[in-house]
Amino acid sequence: MGQGRHSALAAAVTVVCAVTLLGAPGTAFARALPDPTTPAAPASPAAPPLAPSVTLPPDQDLEAVRTKLDGLYHDAAVATDAYNLADEKAKKQSAEITDLNRKIADEQRKLDGLKERAGAAASAQYRTGGLPPEVQLMLGNDPQDFFDGAGSLLQSQRATKNLIEETTRAQQDLELYAGDAADRLRELEAGRKAKAAAKKRIKQRIKEAEQLEAKLEKRQRERLAELERQAAEQAQSAWLSTGILDELDGRASASGRKAVEFATAQLGKPYEWGAVGPRTYDCSGLTSRAWAAAGHPVPRTSQQQWHQLEHVDIKDMRPGDLIIYFDDASHVGMYVGDGTIVHAPRPGRTVTLAGAGSMPILGVVRPTAD
């Protein structure tokens, strides 16, 4: 019997220690991380300085101006893809942080409840002289009372053990969620800086191009437009001379027709970098929105579309397929048939039809297998 009383005292000490542990001050995990929808003020890295002002060239050098403009707008397109990618990641990370903040709040409420239960157990001990009623019963002189209270003692021990284990799990989950949320927040901040840097670069390149075009006289701008048209026609003629149209006999799928119908309905709407409609579009904004309207969402950027969608041989191309242009996959158009694409070209232009071979083709991707 003495040994039994000794065990009971040990169990009581366990309860007291557990309560002390649960009531001790520790790390406050309840505080959720900042709302990710509130933009931070990122310190954007210094962007490349603007090019020095360009001297108005003679007419015979307008081809050099055209090449310079192509380079500026291409650089803006690359930066636009980087901006769009950073924007997509930021939206995903913000949603993840919101979800983690909810989990943190739920776990904190759970932990608070466990601590409240532990506090109630501690109060009960103090009211009974520092020992649970079951222990006091065991220390009494009536053997029958002792055996009657044995079952209650075992239940109390199991409850104490479960309380400690549940509290430990809640604390671990809280630490895990808080750590994950902190990681997502750091990634979000890095993404915001990348997005801000891309935005600055886009604006700079477009401004440089506009300044260059503004230096031209009306007749030179008209001549420049003619040079651009001729260059596109020559590229398209060279592409068609390969006999590619003789090999193209693919018919659009039902979803492909829907995508083409949506894209061609946007003809005449202005290009705007980062835009996905309904009034303005950039190149991948148009193709991604068209395929979403067809019931098959595709990645947002032209580079993602190139890397993530199914590649098809150009001779198997059919209306609705996406043609990716330039070695860096910085532009995309939708094939509509008869050697033609619909695309959003660049700033200052509108959604238009163009020859599928008027720009250097990297490859063709297909959003669906139907």
Q: Name the strands in the sheet holding 361-366, side by side, starting at the edge strand that comes first in the sequence.
A: 310-312, 361-366, 322-325, 331-337, 340-343, 352-355
Point out the catalytic residue in the list 6, 307, 311, 343: 343
Cβ neighbours of residue 146 closer than 8 Å, sequence gap 6 or more: 1, 4, 137, 138, 140
Asked whether 223 and 59 are in contact (CB, 8 A), the reply is yes
> How many angstroms separate the CA atoms of 335 and 195, rounded?
30
> How many angstroms separate the CA atoms of 252 and 366, rounded?
11
Residue 17 bears catalytic tag: no
SS3 content of the chain, % helix, strand, coil (to 5): 60, 10, 30
Asked whether 336 and 319 are in contact (CB, 8 A), the reply is yes
Which residue's structure tokens are 């005292």? 9
Point out the catalytic residue in the list 6, 17, 311, 331: 331
Beta partners for residue 355, in sequence order: 340
Closest among 358, 323, 352, 318 to 338, alpha carbons compared: 318
Q: Kind and range of the H or E element at 310? A: strand 310-312
Point out the catalytic residue in the list 283, 296, 307, 311: 283
Closest among 153, 86, 96, 116 to 19, alpha carbons compared: 116
Cβ neighbours of residue 11 closer than 8 Å, sequence gap 6 or more: 135, 153, 156, 157, 160
> How many angstroms separate the CA atoms of 126 and 20, rounded?
13
Which residues carry out catalysis? 283, 331, 343
